Amino acid sequence: MANLSRFLLQSAQRYPDRIAFQDDQATLTYQQLDQQSQALAQALQVRGVGVGSRVALILPNVLAYPVAAYALWRLGAQAVLVNPQLTGPELQFILADSSSTVALVIGPVVPVLASQRPHLPQLTTVIGVGATPDQPVDAHWQDLLQTAVPTPLAPPSTHSDDICAILYTSGTTGRPKGAQLSHGNLAANAQAGITLMRITEADRGFCILPLFHAFAFTCALVIIPSVGGTAVLAAKFAPRQLMQQLMDPDLTILLAVPSLLATLLKFPPTFKFGAKFRCILCGGAALFPALEDAFRQRFQVPVLQGYGATECSPLAACNPLYGLQKPGSIGPAMPEGHELAIMDPDQERFLDVGEIGELVVRGPHVFHGYLNQPEATAKTFTRQGWLRTGDLARRDADDYFFVVDRIKDMINVSGEKVFSSEVELILQSYPGIQESAVVGAPDPGKGEVVVAYVTLTDKELATNPEAKAQFVDQLLQYCRTQLAQFKVPRQIEILEDFPRSAAGKILKRVLRQQLAPS
């Protein structure tokens, strides 16, 4: 059976009383997950949800997420993953673009969606999760979980190419695009992750990253349940609570982005991972070697930098837990038929060891295109069928890959190529720098010039204009000793914090917008 719901069925039979999911409020055993997803599937089927239907999940990291996902897969329906922090117009666009007929909405977002409902004629049912009795919903979550199930719903006959989830990209250029992932995509990527990490039913993974992003969705909602492990979900960042959660003696794996690692380094010396802790799987943004070294030295745990994209379900590469790990590298391609290569982006010619080109991906995990956007889909693939990532990278003789920059982040200074990541690496090595981001600013003479943004470890320094100016001057002098003149930032601006996506990524497009000529 190609349907992902088989993972739940198998684990519920093998480990009925084991905790499948745990959030800030409660736990859910595999038997309870099976029963609740059955009841929800029955209730949704009565409301017209079936094979190919699209249902929007506008939820944070709560137990309703896995219940809803597996209920939809039982019906052959598609889960549309939506960030609950979006504005009304942003919600309206995604629900209209996806033709979602049902939406499961967390209570605080119900009024936001209600304001857009007149513009969503296809949206027939809004289900409130934790909604108050007076809120404008068509049904309440808790009521649907009480739906009687006369006979267990047998999953429909599903092909591996059938779509099971639609995840909207961040929309760095124009409107967000809905990436269509199939049952086969997620199953193949899950198996690759299990093989690489040797994940078993004994693993207990912690996920504070949002489930509406592919990294958390695949790892927490597909990989862990497929082996009968436990996924601990955190819906909000609360430092004291997080510290206690990560000191759990049974915790084995942490899903993280680099900014989370930087935060953990600020925790008091009493903070330590438990004896069973195996590793941290880190993705979402570049992990600078200085941060990785500092983390390894303090906590003595493996930090596995990986690489992924929504269009890759999302895991494409990762340093192996049991094998050679290369700091600064995203590792080799994931196993189980996942492939990576370096290609000249213009001539579509494969490049040799050490040459910089576009990182391209091929394998059973590569998505089935963007919803309603055939032209954008066609541009995403090469003539030979490889997925273009938009990232510049190189590979070494061991077939480990190193991301150099985003193609669009490469800065052209009078014809000279400047990789923003190279400049960021130098900035990160200077004492007092917490994070950095480098972008190109339009310049009438040079085409572009390098502009840097940084945050400081000493927040008080940033409030003193004289000290701040002196720090910037010293930082520029340091850059001149480390970089060719054309790579040295034209200006450096100190920020209190960076604009970020929901996944914690620095939004360089926002920084570029500030520099665009008016």
Q: Return the closest-CA partner of residue 76 out of 103, 108, 98, 44.
A: 44
Residue 1 has pLDDT above 70, yes or no: no
Do 73 and 98 contact (CB within 8 A), yes or no?
A: no
Burial class (CB in 10 A: 0-12, 13-18, 19+), 482: middle
Tokens encoding 150: 């006369």
User: How many whole angstroms separate alpha carbon 70 and alpha carbon 160?
Assistant: 16
Mean pLDDT of 465-478: 93
* Whole-number percent of the chain with pLDDT over 90: 78
The top-scoring range by mean pLDDT among 182-191, 287-296, 448-457 is 182-191
Tokens encoding 198: 């040797």
Q: Decide if domain 28-182 falls under CATH 3.40.50.980.
A: yes
Regarding predicted confidence, which is higher, 514 or 183? 183
The ranges assigned to domains in the chain are 28-182, 410-515
User: How many whole angstroms separate alpha carbon 163 and alpha carbon 183?
Assistant: 6
> What confidence category does residue 236 fall into, taking pLDDT thresholds of 50, 70 and 90?
confident
Beta bridge partners of 442: 448
Half-sphere exposure of 470 (CA within 13 A, CB side): 6
User: How many whole angstroms separate alpha carbon 160 and alpha carbon 3?
Assistant: 7
User: How many whole angstroms separate alpha carbon 437 and alpha carbon 508?
Assistant: 7
- Per-residue DSSP letter, 222: I
User: How many whole angstroms separate alpha carbon 307 and alpha carbon 372?
Assistant: 27
Mean pLDDT of 504-517: 81
Do 33 and 70 contact (CB within 8 A), yes or no?
A: yes
Residue 455 has pLDDT above 70, yes or no: yes
Residue 255 has pLDDT above 60, yes or no: yes
Q: What mean pLDDT value characterizes the chain?
A: 93
User: How many whole angstroms separate alpha carbon 53 and alpha carbon 80?
Assistant: 10
pLDDT at position 299 is 96
Model confidence pLDDT, tens digit, residues 180-233: 999 999 999 999 999 999 999 999 999 999 999 999 999 999 999 999 999 999
pLDDT at position 172 is 42
Half-sphere exposure of 118 (CA within 13 A, CB side): 1
Model confidence pLDDT, tens digit, residues 274-283: 999 999 999 9
Tokens encoding 259: 């900014």
pLDDT at position 173 is 44
H helices of 247-353, where? 258-264, 289-299
What φ, ψ does residue 19 adopt, rounded to 5°?
-70, 120
Half-sphere exposure of 369 (CA within 13 A, CB side): 12
Helix H or strand E segment including 206: strand 204-207
Angle of helix 420-428 relative to helix 289-299, nearest 10 degrees, comes to: 40
Compute the C-alpha angle 492/494/298, nearest 5°: 110
Q: Decide if domain 410-515 falls under CATH 3.30.300.30.
A: yes
**Two domains, one topology: 28-182 and 410-515:** no
Which distant-in-sequence residues (6+ apart) come within 8 Å of 113 by Cβ? 58, 88, 91, 103, 105, 126
Mean pLDDT of 316-328: 94
Mean pLDDT of 478-498: 92
Model confidence pLDDT, tens digit, residues 347-363: 999 999 999 999 999 99
Helix H or strand E segment including 196: helix 183-197
pLDDT at position 170 is 64
The 3 state secondary structure assigned to 152-189 is CCCCCCCCCCCEEEEEECCCCCCCCCEEEEEHHHHHHH
- Per-residue DSSP letter, 386: P
Instruction: Confirm whether pTM is higher than 0.75.
Output: yes
Tokens encoding 288: 């600078």
SS3 377: helix
